[in-house]
Amino acid sequence: MKKRILVPILAIGILITTASASYKSDFFEIAKQIEIFTTLFKELNMNYVDETNPADLMDTAITAMLADLDPYTNYWNQQEVEQAKIQNFGQYTGIGANVFTQKNKIKLLEVYKGYPADKAGLKPGDEIIQIGDVALKDFNEDAGELLKGAPNSKVTLKYIRQGKSQQTTLNREAVEIKAVPFYELTPDKIGYIVLSKFNRKASAEVATALKNLKEQGAEKIILDLRGNPGGLLTEAVNVTNIFVPKGEIITTTKSSIEKYNQVYKTQKDPMDTEIPLAVLINGKSASASEIVSGSLQDLDRAVVIGARSFGKGLVQRPKQLSYGTQLKITISRYYTPSGRCIQALDYWNRDEEGNATKTKVEDYNEFTTRNGRKVYDGGGILPDVTLETSEYSAVTNALIEEQIIFNYATQYYYNQPEISLDNFVFTDKDFGAFKQFLKQADFTYETETEKELKELMLVSKKEGYEKAIAKTQQNMLAEIEIAKQKQIEAKKHEIERLLSDEIIKRYHYEEGLYTYYLAHNPEIKKAKEILNNASTYKKILN
């Protein structure tokens, strides 16, 4: 059978669509490398000993090429392009759930109240194994695409819940992804606004929330950006514009390509430049969240509370390619009004193993806010008020990544009757049950110390010292293991908080969790304390 030759469209698309001074100077080299790649690709597909799949080979080539850059420069196929549009525009037709797609099943991580998955009786932890007539174990493509369909179309789902197979019929409908999933006025006249993403509706929804809260009597505001991974840069500017005057510089972008060097200023009249404002961030607040929190900090417009943010100071832009695909490419770095680039990882000067290096604290550069307060670059946004409760230890992060906390919450839900938001407490007895669950789950994680020890052994083997230090290494690893077991108890408080959060969502959804936060969350309590003390608030900002 004659083999089909796939032209490297991505490379040619970049050749045609990219225009800059640096590009023109490299024109010959780019054309030369494309010609080499094209002839290699042709010869490989026509002459390799076994039948090849040109599309798979091209995907591998693209992935390997982009891996040498930063993790935000990505190639998107047609399905991924559509998913990005959903995230930006905030509406799609689907089931209304956050899912994790595995090889032969789809696991539901969160079910949104009142949407199709919820109406069909699906719960977090359910594992979908068949969609319509398609068994996922026999399906090799993106199973998530099978859940999509026309509005009001029905689909039968088979799923596993607590080891038992069940079936339901789901009616697809329009699902709106809210940028502001929750806002509410507290008894002490503080408005609480949760901003979970920066899609095209973000600033409009924040503005609506602020307007409604002020009409209800709000005199101070808490803007919660914890866990917000970012989104549209323009919406970050627009959200900031709600609280700062027209004409303020919010961020600048700098690149080796002149057209990407831009200054982003507020374009509209603000809603309120005087209302006391606290912004909550943590290690999962990134990108657009850092533009908002960083600019409000630099302009001394808000007190930032929580833990150091993620540290993503890179700007991406999608570039259209052939056949509905895209290249999402890093085009510039962004800087806060004081001149800070908060990018924490250096992807261009990697270590000997090819890993991105982290900016060291001693290499941070000092800048000043409008009022002369010291702020620093190179490591995300450091809050004005740092709380230990906002940071997660290594063991806690491992529990999250391994879905141990999620899985325990699933077990708890099916073993426990309805819980009340008013008096729910995760007790010492519950924590004991969790530790027993850990043993059954055979939970393990590797510390940075263990990784360094393994590297040491590799080096010692090369130099002939392996036997001499083997016993010492074994003893150290044993001591580390004992210390790791103690970490579970030492970090009990932060683990209990995450368990409580996950459990509450099972019974009372996302809305119930935020309601619970208003009475129990330590970051919100601290924000209230600062906002309710005018002298403390002013002292921090001055």
| DSSP calls for 11-28 | HHHHHHH---HHHHHTHH
* Phi, psi of 359, deg, nearest 5: -65, 125
Q: Which residue stretches of 299-347 are H helix?
A: none
**Burial class for 482, CB neighbours closer than 10 Å (0-12, 13-18, 19+):** exposed
Q: Which 3 state secondary structure label does DSSP give 317?
A: strand
What does the alpha-carbon distance between residue 355 and residue 510 come to, in Å, rounded to a whole number? 37
What does the alpha-carbon distance between residue 344 and residue 354 come to, in Å, rounded to a whole number? 16
Q: Which helix (H) or strand (E) holds 29?
A: helix 27-47
Q: Can you give the pTM of this predicted structure? A: 0.86
What does the alpha-carbon distance between residue 331 and residue 485 come to, in Å, rounded to a whole number? 45
What does the alpha-carbon distance between residue 72 and residue 66 come to, in Å, rounded to a whole number? 9
* Phi, psi of 357, deg, nearest 5: -95, 150
Catalytic residue among 123, 178, 220, 312: 312
Superfamily of domain 92-175: PDZ domain (2.30.42.10)
Q: Which residue stretches of 337-418 are H helix?
A: 394-401, 404-415
Q: Which of 7, 261, 5 is nearest to 15 (CA)?
A: 7
**Burial class for 243, CB neighbours closer than 10 Å (0-12, 13-18, 19+):** buried
What does the alpha-carbon distance between residue 50 and residue 138 come to, in Å, rounded to a whole number? 25
- The C-alpha angle with vertex 90 and arms to 89 and 92, in degrees rounded to 5, equals 100
What does the alpha-carbon distance between residue 291 and residue 285 come to, in Å, rounded to a whole number? 10
Q: Which residue stretches of 220-281 are H helix?
A: 233-241
pLDDT along the chain (542 residues), means of 10: 41 44 67 93 93 90 91 86 69 80 86 95 96 88 80 93 96 90 97 96 98 98 97 96 98 94 97 98 96 98 97 93 90 96 88 79 92 94 94 91 96 93 93 93 83 81 81 84 86 94 96 96 97 98 94
Question: Secondary structure of 87-130 in the HEC alphabet?
Answer: HHHCEEEECCEEEEECCCCEEEEEECCCCHHHHCCCCCCCEEEE
Instruction: Name the token pair of 214.
Output: 């002020």
Instruction: Name the token pair of 161.
Output: 């819940």
Q: Which of 496, 505, 453, 502 is nearest to 478 (CA)?
A: 453
DSSP letter for each residue of 40-79: HHHHHHHH-SS---HHHHHHHHHHHHHHTS-TT-EEE-HH
pLDDT of residue 18: 44
What does the alpha-carbon distance between residue 72 and residue 67 come to, in Å, rounded to a whole number? 10
DSSP letter for each residue of 361-392: GGGPPEEE-TT--EEE-SSSPPPSEE-GGG--
- The domain defined by 182-389 carries CATH number 3.90.226.10: yes
How many other CB atoms are found less than 10 A from the CB of residue 60?
A: 11
What does the alpha-carbon distance between residue 300 and residue 326 come to, in Å, rounded to a whole number? 39
420: left (phi over 0), alpha (psi -120 to 50) or beta: beta
312 is catalytic: yes
Q: Which 3 state secondary structure label does DSSP give 446?
A: coil
| CB contact at 8 A, 537 and 403 | no
Q: Which of 175, 231, 223 is nearest to 195 (CA)?
A: 223
Report the first-to-last Cα separation within the chain, whole angstroms. Answer: 76
287 is catalytic: yes
Pairing of strands 164-171, 277-281: unpaired
Q: Which amino acid is at 226?
A: R
Q: What are the Cα distances from residue 323, in Å, to 68, 179, 330, 374?
A: 25, 30, 22, 50
Q: Which amino acid is at 505?
A: K
**Burial class for 169, CB neighbours closer than 10 Å (0-12, 13-18, 19+):** exposed
501 is catalytic: no
Catalytic residue among 287, 293, 295, 338: 287
Q: What does the domain layout of the chain look like in residue ranges? A: 39-68, 92-175, 182-389, 394-522
pLDDT of residue 2: 40
Q: Which helix (H) or strand (E) holds 159?
A: strand 154-161
Beta bridge partners of 221: 191, 277
What does the alpha-carbon distance between residue 303 and residue 537 come to, in Å, rounded to a whole number? 7
pLDDT of residue 10: 43
pLDDT of residue 144: 77
Catalytic residue among 70, 298, 377, 384: 298
pLDDT of residue 86: 64
**Dihedral of the alpha carbons of 239, 245, 246, 249, in degrees to the nearest 10:** -70
pLDDT of residue 15: 42
Beta bridge partners of 75: 327
How many other CB atoms are found less than 10 A from the CB of residue 376?
A: 18
pLDDT of residue 282: 96
How distant is the alpha carbon of residue 272 from its chain centre? 29
Q: What are the Cα distances from residue 338, in Å, to 256, 344, 382, 539?
A: 21, 17, 14, 20
